[in-house]
Amino acid sequence: ATSPTKPSVVWLPFQECTGCTESMVNSFAFSGGATIENLILNLISLDYHETLMAAAGDRSEQRLKEVTKSGHILIVDGSIPAPWDGSQRNGYFISGGRSGAKRFEAAARTARLVIAVGTCASFGGLPKANPNPTGALSIGALMTRLGIKTPLINVSGCPPIPEVMTGVILYYLAKGMPALDSQGRPVMFYGDTVHDDCYREEFFEDGPFVQQFDDGVSRKGGCLYKVGCKGPVTHNACSRIRWNQGTSFPMMSGHGCIGCAEPDFWDGLNFEGKQ
């Protein structure tokens, strides 16, 4: 049953890979215990999540109708394919007999907030990569097309850092809308580039530069820019918060950032690196 006291959260998946959910359930702690257990058991009422809930079929569809009447926080992962007008029942994504756009629209118009988690939902991501065969749109672009005025927060990354997802939800519940950057992302997590706090940064200006993955320079902590690191143009908290319970981030494994938190990173970033 829904909780009478805890804020209702509904999570809807569209064109996604479930990586965002997998990441979220690994949230261990961030400034005051934003573990996934604490969030779900004590702070929110997670009223609908197809991967985590037991209900299926008609019962699950009935549940979705009940919990999206008003005032819920709607979390979405994945982009939404054509048709976008919300009126048709065919297309690249059908669930519960409705197109992705129709399904999203019904839950988003009555929500108090939409959170687009992952680069697919925030910017189109992998499904929108050239030639975008399904006509994938980001959640923000679809909301503009459908004239949905519900406030939106983008939490990009492929997937996003677990504690960033739980941290954004907690911040909203405690203090309301966070300050957003020009891409609709919370400045507290996306205000800096990955490069700004990278431990290899001292070698960015004059080297030494890694020339080949896992060469001697790489093992000594040289800069990965010449092997394609996109840290200087990628806004995310990987080098500050790190992954796997604060253990590591891509550069610590000897691989540069591929820009996964930026729009069109599959196509739009130059992977040639510094020459």
258 binds ligand F3S (CB under 6 A): yes
| Polymer length in residues for the chain | 275
User: From residue 227, how far is each of 138, 192, 216, 234, 251 by CA, in Å?
Assistant: 30, 22, 14, 16, 11
Please tell me whether residue 237 adopts helix, strand or coil conformation. Answer: coil
120 binds ligand F3S (CB under 6 A): no
Spell out, one character per residue from 188 to 207, where the chain touches ligand F3S: x when CB under 6 A holds, - when not: ------x-------------
Work out the angle at residue 168's Cα, subtended by the Cα atoms of residues 167 and 171, and round it to the nearest 5 degrees.
85
How many helices and strands, by DSSP H and E, does the chain display? 10, 7
Output 139 or 238, the one with its CB closest to ligand F3S.
238
Considering only 16, 204, 234, 266, the residue that binds ligand F3S (CB under 6 A) is 234
CB-CB contact of 76 with 114 (8 Å): yes
Which of ligand F3S, ligand SF4, none does 64 bind, CB closer than 5 to 8 A by kind? Answer: none
Annotated binding site: 17, 20, 120, 158, 195, 198, 223, 229, 238, 257, 260
* Site size with ligand F3S, rule: CB under 6 A: 12
Which of ligand SF4, ligand F3S, none does 236 bind, CB closer than 5 to 8 A by kind? Answer: ligand F3S
Which of ligand F3S, ligand SF4, none does 261 bind, CB closer than 5 to 8 A by kind? Answer: ligand F3S
By CB under 6 A, name the binding residues for ligand SF4: 16-17, 19-20, 77-78, 118-120, 125-126, 158-159, 194-195, 198, 200-201, 204, 223-225, 229, 231-232, 251, 256-257
CB-CB contact of 167 with 34 (8 Å): yes
Where helices occur in the chain by DSSP H, the ranges are: 19-24, 36-38, 57-67, 100-108, 118-123, 139-146, 162-175, 187-190, 216-219, 238-241
Q: Which stretch binds ligand F3S (CB under 6 A): 75-83, 93-101, 175-183, 256-264?
A: 256-264
CB-CB contact of 16 with 50 (8 Å): no
